[in-house]
């Protein structure tokens, strides 16, 4: 197989995903099949080819760094899973000394 279940677990951690043990094996097989299919690109000689990351040959446009306040803060907070006193609540990320 092009990829092992150990590697799949590692990639899942990097991607902040979680797979159960039952999901892991079929998923590893599927990914392996797809990665094997990608191998056909190896037959293309790209030794003198530069990559295309973007279809437009456009430079990043610049603008003045001016603050434009977003008017509807309320609607943004409505989408937050947990809000307290106008702030989004998150799990504690610092340990007590």
Partner 1 sequence: MDLRELTITSALKLLTEGKISSLELTKLCLEQIKRYDSKVKAFLYVNEEWALAQAENSDKRRKEGKAGLLEGIPLSIKDNIHIKGHPTTCASKILANYIAPYNATVIEKLTQEGAVFIGKTNMDEFAMGSSTENSAFFPTHNPWDLERVPGGSSGGSATAVAMRMGLGSLGSDTGGSIRQPAAFCGVVGMKPTYGLVSRFGLVAFASSLDQIGPFALTVEDLALLLRAIAGHDPKDSTSAEIEVPNYLGYIYQNEKTSFKIGLPKEYFSETLSPEIAKPLENTIKLLEKRHQIKEISLPHTKYAVATYYIVAPAEASSNLARYDGIKYGFRAEAKNLLELYKKSRAYGFGKEVKRRIMLGTYALSAGYYDAYYLKASKVRTLIKEDFERAFKEVDLILAPTTPTPPFKLGEKIADPLQMYLSDIFTIPVNLAGLPGLSLPVGLTEKGLPVGAQIIGPAFRDELVLALAYQIEKELALKLTPPLMA
Binding residues vs partner 1 (CB under 8 A): 3, 7-8, 11-12, 14-19, 27, 30-31, 33-35, 37-38, 40-42, 44, 46, 49-56, 58, 60-61, 63, 70, 72, 75-76, 78-82, 88, 90-91, 93
Minimum distance between the CB of residue 63 and partner 1, rounded to whole angstroms?
Answer: 7
What is the 3-state secondary structure of 17-34? CCCCHHHHHHHHHHHHHH
* Helix residue ranges per DSSP H, the chain: 5-14, 21-38, 73-78
Two tokens at 60? 């990043």
- The one-character DSSP state at 3 is S
Residue closer to partner 1 (CB basis): 58 or 84:
58
Minimum distance from CB of 90 to partner 1 (Å)?
A: 6
């Amino acid at each position: 197989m092009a990829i092992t279940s150990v590697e799949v677990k590692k990639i899942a951690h990097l991607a902040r995903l979680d797979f159960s043990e039952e999901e892991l094996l079929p998923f590893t097989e599927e990914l392996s099949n797809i990665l094997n299919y990608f191998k056909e690109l190896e037959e293309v000689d790209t030794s003198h080819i530069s990559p295309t990351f973007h279809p437009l040959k456009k430079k990043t446009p610049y603008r003045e760094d001016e603050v434009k306040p977003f008017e509807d803060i309320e609607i943004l907070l409505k989408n937050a899973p947990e809000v307290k006193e106008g702030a989004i609540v998150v799990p504690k990320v610092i340990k007590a000394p």
